[in-house]
Amino acid sequence: MIEEEILTIEEVAKYLRVSERTVYDWAQKGEIPCGKIGTVWRFQKAEIERWVNSRLSNHHLGASYNAVQVESIISVDRVLFLEYETKRDALMALAANLATAPQVKNRQELAEEIIRREELMSTAIGRGIAIPHVRLSSVTDLVVSVGISRINILDFQALDDEPVRLLFMIAAAYNQHAYYLQTLSFFSARLKNKELRRSLLDSQTAEEAYRLLVRV
């Protein structure tokens, strides 16, 4: 494993938005993929990403579907059609859109944290989907912007090597950990539906895409 693929406890804690003690306890109990170099825990970037995606995919969805009301976190004006070749440009455009939501109080912090998170570890989960997400003290309530790309975004480094076309950017308040995970899980599960993905990509207006997303 090369050095850039190895994360410290501190880096994993920042990525997962949990305490370093929590990561240490998971490592001690064997609940998270890791290894020791001497007496120091180290984590392989790709393994942590697979672990996170697996937890999202396998998360119990009953509570998520009951708790997540899509119409309360997405609006028509936060559905954006994108035509950017790079993930950075796509993420910056989507962050600028999300920053127009009244729940977001610090536009610059949102953009910086979204990019920092993406540099640490890709948020592409496969099937052409990316779910960039952050929890910030400058966000008052969970809110989402949706990006539908008209062209393939090739540099997301998804596990299945598929180009990204659908982006769901989530910003939550720092104290919304449970709802944040429910929302991540909700979209991860909902977008396994191939027909929904195809319909979103074929949608011609933001209103059309919005109706697809709020449909029960």
Q: Which residues of 49-88 are buried (b: 16+ CB within 10 A; e: fewer)?
A: bebbbeebeebebeebeeebebeebbbeebbbebebeebe
Are residues 153 and 206 both part of a single domain?
A: yes
pLDDT > 70 in the chain, percent: 90
User: In 3D, which of 207, 215, 172, 199 has the Cα closest to residue 70?
Assistant: 215
**Mean pLDDT over all residues of the chain?**
87
Are residues 167 and 206 both part of a single domain?
A: yes
**Is pTM, for the whole model, over 0.85?**
no
Instruction: Give the residue numbers annotated as catalytic, written as ranges.
Output: 133
**1 pLDDT tier (thresholds 50, 70, 90):** very low
Q: How many domains does the chain have?
A: 2
Are residues 153 and 80 both part of a single domain?
A: yes
Are residues 40 and 111 both part of a single domain?
A: no
| Residue 3 confidence (pLDDT) | 44
Q: Which of 58, 75, 99 is the last residue of a domain?
A: 58
User: Degrees (nearest 5) of the Cα angle 22, 115, 197?
Assistant: 90
User: In 3D, which of 72, 23, 58, 95 has the Cα closest to residue 179?
Assistant: 72
Are residues 145 and 41 both part of a single domain?
A: no
Residues 152-199 have pLDDT tens digits of 999 998 878 899 999 999 999 988 877 888 888 888 888 989 999 999
Are residues 163 and 184 both part of a single domain?
A: yes
Are residues 102 and 190 both part of a single domain?
A: yes
Read off the CATH number of the domain in which 35 is found. 3.90.105
Residues 22-57 have pLDDT tens digits of 888 888 888 899 998 888 899 988 888 778 766 655
Q: Inform me whether the pLDDT recorded for 59 exceeds 70.
A: no
Question: In the structure encoding, which two tokens stand for residue 25, read together?
Answer: 């306890």
Range of the domain at 196: 63-214
**110 pLDDT tier (thresholds 50, 70, 90):** very high
| Residue 14 confidence (pLDDT) | 78
Are residues 40 and 69 both part of a single domain?
A: no
Are residues 97 and 195 both part of a single domain?
A: yes
Read off the CATH number of the domain in which 104 is found. 3.40.930.10
Are residues 49 and 70 both part of a single domain?
A: no
Q: Which of 11, 36, 58 is the last residue of a domain?
A: 58
Are residues 184 and 94 both part of a single domain?
A: yes
Are residues 102 and 71 both part of a single domain?
A: yes
